[in-house]
C-alpha cells in the first residue's frame, strides 16, 4: 500500500527560529519525492514532522488523508532511514531486519523467513547471520532499507542515506534505490543536498532554502524552468547578469544590465514590472560563440582560460561591466578551440534559453 | 602482537628513562600495595593464633583450623556446623545482592534520564545534586539515617501521619535502615558506569526502534540494556563487593540482633584478638564474592574486559 502525504501550511519553530515556513506540499502516493536544499535548510526537521518525532508548531501533516496530529512515530505508517542508518550493532543482520516483526509479535520462524526474503530483495542473500559491523558501507545501507521495509510502511522516509558512501557506490545505490522503490511501489520521501541524487531518482523535487519551499516540480522542469533566483543558482550551473526590467510581456522580458540589454524568457510564475530589479540567468551550455547569424542576444567578452574536459570544453570569460567571470560549456567536436587568453570574442544566446527572474536570494557557492 | 615487540615499542615511545620509571612504578604498585599485603594475610590465615613468645617456635606450623572453624565451629560446640557464622555469611551475601538489585533499579532510570532526556543545564544540576551529598562524611550520613529511620524519626512520623501505620516500625531492628544506608552509600558507583554506558548509545537507535513501533519496555530490553551491559555489570560488581565488605554502615545502622559478616571479621581482629582467624574469614569473604561475581558474569555473558571499558 502507498499513501499520499500532505503538508498543509506547516510551520516549525524552535523558539524564535523558524525551521520551516508555510510549507504546502502534496506528495502523491507511490511516487519518489525528494527534498533538495543546502545544509541546515530544515530538511531533516520537516522529515521528523512527517515521521512523528516532532509536531509542527502550526499546520497539519496528513498521511493517506488522515490527520497525524497527536499520533506518535510508533503508530504512523512511516519508516525512517536515519542519516547515520542507526542499525542495531548488537543484533545480527537478520534480527535487525526482522525487528519490526518482532515488535508485532511474529514468531521466530516466520521472522527469519521474511528477513531472508528481504535479504533477497536487497541482493544480500545468505548474509543474515553476520553482525552489522562485518558489512561494507553499501551493504549496511541496503540492510537499513530492508529493515525499514520490513515494517511494511506506506511511506518510506530517507534522510540523506547515501551521504556516507563514496562516489561510485553512491551512484550505484541511486539506481538501486529507484529500482527498489518501483518494485515495492510505496511512497519514498528522500532528503538530500546532492542535486544529482534528487534529479536522477525523483518523480518530483522540492527545492528548499531557509525553511521555505522554493519550487516543487520534476527534475527536468526544475533545471529548465526555475521559478526563483535561488533555484536558478542552486540547481546546476548558471551565469548571472543583474539589471532592471526595461520592457516585459508574457513571453519575453528585456533587462537592462551592465553588459547591455538582455532579452530573456519571462518566467511563468514570477511577475516582473518595468523598472523592477531583476536577475537574468543563462546556463553555460546555452552560450555560443557568435557565428554572424542573427541571435537574440550578443555580448562581447574576453577569454580568460579554456579547459579541456574530454567531453566538453569549459571556457571562462570576462565581460566588460559584468561582476563575475562567466562560464561557457561547449561540446567537444574534435577540433581545438584555440583562443589565446585575452582574445576578444563575441558570444550569443537565444532569449528562450535565458530566464528573467525577480532579484532574490542566491545559493551560496 | 608478541610481548617482546610490545615492550620494545613501549620503550621507544616513552624513552628508556621514562619507560623504566613507568614500568617500575606499576610494578611497585602491584607488588607493595596489592600483592605483598594480601600475601601476608594469606600466610596469616594459615597459621595458629599463638602468643608472641611462641611465634617462629616449634608450634608455629601451617594449619587450616581457621577455615575449618568457619564451617564446623569449635570442637566443643554442639551441632555439626558453625550455623551462626555460616548463617551470617550467607545472609550478608544475599542482602548485598538485593542492595545491588535495589541500586540498579533506582539508578538505571536516573542514568537513562541524565544521558538521554535531560537538557544540558538540568543534567549538570542533577549530577551535582547527586555528588554533593557525598561530601558529607560516612559516619555523619549513617547517623543521620539512624535518626531518620528511628522510632521517632521523620519516616515513622510521616507514615503515621498518613495513617499507614499506627505504631512506629522499628526500622533499625528490621534492617531497613541498613539496606537503605548501604543502597544510598554506593548509588554513585552505580550511576556513573550506567550513565557512561548509556550516554554513548546513539540516540537514533532508540528513535529507529521507536519508529518501528517498539514499546518503551522493548526498547530498553532489546536496545538500551544490551548496549549498557558492560556498565551495568561494572556498577553491580562494585556495589555488590563494597556492600558485602562494608563495615561502618552495618555497625551504625544494623539491627542489634543481626550481624553483617564484616562485623564478625572485625570482632576476630579486634575483640577476639585472633588476627589469623580474622584474615581467614576475610579471605573467605573475598574469594566468595569474587566467585559470585564471576558466576553472575557467566550467567549474563559479560566478559571481564568489557567491565574495564
Ligand atoms: N532541536 C532543535 N533546536 C533548535 N534548532 C534546531 C533544532 N533542530 C534543528 N534546528 C535548526 O533548524 C535548522 C534546520 O535543521 P535541519 O536538521 O532540519 O537541517 P537539514 O536541512 O537537515 O541540514 P543537513 O543537510 O545539514 O542535515 C538548523 O538551522 C538547525 O540549527
Ligand atoms: Mg539533515
Rounded Cα gap, residues B101 and B105, in angstroms: 6
Angle (deg, nearest 10), helices B120-131 and B187-199: 160
pLDDT at B168: 85
Banded pLDDT at B308 (limits 50, 70, 90): low
Rounded Cα gap, residues B31 and B110, in angstroms: 39
Mean pLDDT, rounded, for B164-183: 86
Protein residue with its CA nearest to atom 29 in ligand 1 = A40
pLDDT digits (tens, 9 = 90+) for A173-224: 888 889 889 988 999 999 999 999 999 999 999 999 999 999 999 999 999 9
pLDDT digits (tens, 9 = 90+) for B197-212: 999 999 999 999 999 9
Q: Which of A150-154, A219-223, A320-324, B236-240 shows the lowest mean pLDDT across its residues?
A: A320-324
Mutation test of the interface with chain B: which of A74, A92, A106, choosing the one with the most B Cβ atoms within 10 A?
A74
CB A49 within 8 A of CB A35: no
- Which chain B residue shows the shortest CA-CA distance from A102? B214
Closest CA to B289 of B95, B103, B105: B95
Rounded Cα gap, residues A101 and A151, in angstroms: 7
Closest CA to A162 of A201, A192, A196: A192
Instruction: Return the best residue to mutate from A11, A18, A40 for the ligand 1 pocket (most ligand atoms within 8 A of CB).
Output: A40
Rounded Cα gap, residues A234 and A106, in angstroms: 47
| B84: its cell numbers | 551462626
Strand order in the sheet with A288-289: A288-289, A344-349, A297-308, A312-319, A326-331
CB A85 within 8 A of CB A37: no
Cβ neighbours for A197, distance < 8 A, ≥ 6 positions apart: A34, A162, A170, A174, A190
Pick the more confident residue, B51 or A9: A9
Protein residue with its CA nearest to atom 22 in ligand 1 = A44
pTM of structure:
0.80
Ligand 2 centre from A35 Cα, in Å?
A: 11
How close A111 gets to chain B, by Cα (Å)? 15
Which ligand has its closest atom nearest to the C-alpha of A41? 1
Mark yes or no for CB contact B210/A73 under 8 Å: yes
Does B51 have pLDDT greater than 70? Answer: yes
Helix (H) or strand (E) holding B52: none
pLDDT at B197: 92
Rounded Cα gap, residues A70 and A60, in angstroms: 11
A94–chain B Cβ distance below 8 A for any pair: no
pLDDT digits (tens, 9 = 90+) for A245-292: 999 988 899 999 988 899 999 988 878 889 899 999 999 999 999 887
Q: A22: helix, coil or strand?
A: strand
pLDDT digits (tens, 9 = 90+) for A37-92: 999 999 999 999 999 999 999 999 999 999 999 999 989 999 999 988 999 999 99
| B125: its cell numbers | 544540576
CB A256 within 8 A of CB A243: yes
Contacts of A104 in chain B (CB under 8 A): 213
pLDDT at B132: 87
Rounded Cα gap, residues A157 and A160, in angstroms: 10
Rounded Cα gap, residues B227 and B197, in angstroms: 7
pLDDT digits (tens, 9 = 90+) for B24-37: 999 998 888 889 98
DSSP state of A344: E
Rounded Cα gap, residues A63 and A5, in angstroms: 5
Residue with cell 549513617: B142
Q: Which of A185-194, A335-344, B231-240 shows the lowest mean pLDDT across its residues?
A: A335-344
Rounded Cα gap, residues A55 and A49, in angstroms: 5
| A283: its cell numbers | 546556463
Protein residue with its CA nearest to atom 24 in ligand 1 = A39
| B75: its cell numbers | 570442637
CB B153 within 8 A of CB B147: yes
Other CB atoms within a 10 A radius of the CB of residue A292 amount to: 7
**A105: exposed, middle or buried (C-beta count within 10 Å: 0-12, 13-18, 19+)?**
exposed
Cβ neighbours for A275, distance < 8 A, ≥ 6 positions apart: A244, A245
CB A7 within 8 A of CB A61: yes
| B197: its cell numbers | 554506558
**Of residues A53, A84, A100, nearest to B212 (C-beta):** A100
Rounded Cα gap, residues A63 and A77, in angstroms: 8
Q: Hey, what long-range contacts does A337-342 have (CB within 8 A, 24 or more apart)?
A: A337/A306, A337/A313, A339/A303, A339/A306, A339/A315, A340/A303, A341/A303, A341/A304, A341/A305, A342/A302, A342/A303
Rounded Cα gap, residues A20 and B137, in angstroms: 54
Residues within 8 A of A (CB atoms), B 144-183 only: none
Rounded Cα gap, residues B233 and B300, in angstroms: 9
Cβ neighbours for B244, distance < 8 A, ≥ 6 positions apart: B92, B93, B96, B261, B262, B285, B289
Does B80 have pLDDT greater than 90? Answer: no
- For the four alpha carbons of A194, A199, A204 and A208, in that order, the dihedral sign comes to positive
Rounded Cα gap, residues B280 and B109, in angstroms: 40
CB A359 within 8 A of CB A272: no
DSSP state of B33: I
Rounded Cα gap, residues A255 and A357, in angstroms: 10
CB A128 within 8 A of CB A61: no
Residue with cell 536487497: A122
pLDDT at B167: 85
Rounded Cα gap, residues A227 and A125, in angstroms: 46
Q: What percent of chain A has pLDDT over 70?
A: 100
B210–chain A Cβ distance below 8 A for any pair: yes
pLDDT digits (tens, 9 = 90+) for B266-295: 999 888 888 888 999 999 999 999 998 998
pLDDT at B101: 94
Protein residue with its CA nearest to atom 27 in ligand 1 = A39
Amino acid at each position: 500500500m502507498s499513501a499520499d502525504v500532505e503538508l498543509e501550511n506547516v510551520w516549525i519553530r524552535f523558539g524564535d527560529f523558524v525551521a520551516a515556513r508555510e510549507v504546502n506540499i502534496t506528495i502523491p502516493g507511490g511516487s519518489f519525492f525528494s527534498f533538495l536544499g543546502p545544509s541546515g535548510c530544515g530538511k531533516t526537521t520537516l522529515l521528523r514532522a512527517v515521521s512523528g518525532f516532532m509536531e509542527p508548531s502550526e499546520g497539519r501533516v496528513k498521511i493517506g488523508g488522515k490527520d497525524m496530529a497527536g499520533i506518535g512515530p510508533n503508530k504512523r505508517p512511516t519508516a525512517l532511514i536515519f542519516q547515520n542508518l542507526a542499525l542495531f550493532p548488537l543484533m545480527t543482520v537478520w534480527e535487525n531486519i526482522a525487528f519490526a516483526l518482532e515488535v508485532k509479535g511474529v514468531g521466530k520462524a516466520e521472522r527469519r523467513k521474511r528477513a531472508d526474503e528481504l535479504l533477497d530483495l536487497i541482493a544480500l542473500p545468505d548474509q543474515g547471520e553476520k553482525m552489522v559491523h562485518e558489512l561494507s558501507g553499501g551493504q549496511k545501507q541496503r540492510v537499513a532499507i530492508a529493515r525499514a521495509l520490513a515494517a511494511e510502511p506506506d511511506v518510506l522516509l530517507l534522510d540523506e542515506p547515501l551521504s556516507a558512501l563514496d562516489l561510485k557506490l553512491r551512484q550505484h545505490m541511486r539506481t538501486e534505490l529507484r529500482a527498489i522503490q518501483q518494485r515495492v511501489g510505496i511512497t519514498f520521501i528522500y532528503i538530500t543536498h546532492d542535486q544529482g541524487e534528487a534529479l536522477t531518482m525523483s518523480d518530483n523535487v522540492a527545492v528548499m532554502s531557509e525553511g521555505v519551499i522554493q519550487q516543487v516540480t520534476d527534475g527536468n522542469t526544475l533545471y529548465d524552468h526555475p521559478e526563483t533566483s535561488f533555484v536558478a543558482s542552486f540547481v546546476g550551473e548558471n551565469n548571472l547578469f543583474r539589471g532592471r526590467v526595461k520592457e516585459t510581456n508574457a513571453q519575453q522580458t528585456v533587462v537592462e544590465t551592465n553588459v547591455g540589454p538582455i532579452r530573456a524568457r519571462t518566467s511563468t510564475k514570477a511577475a516582473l514590472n518595468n523598472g523592477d530589479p531583476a536577475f537574468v540567468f543563462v546556463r553555460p551550455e546555452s552560450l555560443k560563440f557568435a557565428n554572424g547569424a542573427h541571435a537574440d542576444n550578443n555580448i562581447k567578452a574576453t577569454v580568460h582560460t579554456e579547459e579541456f574536459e574530454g567531453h566538453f570544453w569549459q571556457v571562462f570569460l570576462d565581460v566588460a561591466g559584468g561582476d563575475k567571470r562567466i562560464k561557457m560549456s561547449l561540446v567537444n567536436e574534435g577540433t581545438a578551440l584555440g583562443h589565446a587568453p585575452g582574445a576578444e570574442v563575441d558570444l550569443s544566446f537565444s532569449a528562450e534559453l535565458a530566464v528573467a527572474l525577480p532579484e532574490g536570494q542566491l545559493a551560496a557557492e | 602482537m608478541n610481548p617482546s615487540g610490545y615492550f620494545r615499542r613501549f620503550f621507544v615511545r616513552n624513552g628508556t628513562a621514562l619507560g623504566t620509571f613507568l614500568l617500575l612504578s606499576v610494578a611497585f604498585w602491584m607488588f607493595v600495595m596489592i600483592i605483598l599485603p594480601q600475601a601476608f594475610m594469606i600466610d596469616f590465615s594459615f597459621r595458629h593464633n599463638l602468643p608472641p613468645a611462641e611465634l617462629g617456635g616449634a608450634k608455629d606450623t601451617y594449619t587450616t583450623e581457621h577455615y575449618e572453624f568457619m564451617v564446623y565451629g569449635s570442637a566443643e560446640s554442639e551441632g555439626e556446623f558453625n550455623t551462626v557464622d555460616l548463617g551470617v555469611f550467607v545472609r550478608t551475601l544475599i542482602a548485598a545482592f538485593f542492595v545491588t538489585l535495589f541500586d540498579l533499579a533506582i539508578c538505571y532510570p536516573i542514568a537513562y534520564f541524565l544521558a538521554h532526556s535531560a537538557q544540558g543545564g538540568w543534567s549538570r544540576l542533577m549530577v551535582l545534586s547527586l555528588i554533593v551529598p557525598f561530601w558529607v562524611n560516612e559516619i555523619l550520613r549513617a547517623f543521620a539515617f539512624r535518626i531518620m529511620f528511628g522510632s521517632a524519626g521523620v519516616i515513622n512520623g510521616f507514615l503515621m501521619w498518613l495513617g499507614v501505620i499506627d505504631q512506629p516500625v522499628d526500622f533499625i531492628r528490621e534492617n531497613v535502615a541498613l539496606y537503605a544506608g548501604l543502597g544510598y552509600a554506593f548509588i554513585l558507583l552505580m550511576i556513573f558506569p550506567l550513565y557512561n554506558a548509556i550516554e554513548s548509545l546513539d540516540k537514533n537507535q532508540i528513535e529507529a526502534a521507536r519508529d518501528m513501533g517498539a514499546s518503551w519496555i522493548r526498547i530498553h530490553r532489546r536496545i538500551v540494556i544490551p548496549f549498557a551491559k558492560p556498565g551495568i555489570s561494572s556498577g553491580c560488581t562494585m556495589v555488590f563487593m563494597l556492600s558485602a565488605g562494608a563495615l561502618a554502615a552495618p555497625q551504625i545502622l544494623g539491627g542489634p540482633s543481626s550481624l553483617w559478616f564484616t562485623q564478625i571479621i572485625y570482632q576476630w581482629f579486634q575483640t577476639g584478638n585472633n588476627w589469623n582467624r580474622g584474615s581467614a574469614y576475610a579471605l573467605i569473604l573475598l574469594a566468595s564474592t569474587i566467585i559470585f561475581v564471576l558466576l553472575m558474569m557467566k550467567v549474563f555473558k559479560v566478559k571481564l574486559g568489557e567491565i574495564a571499558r
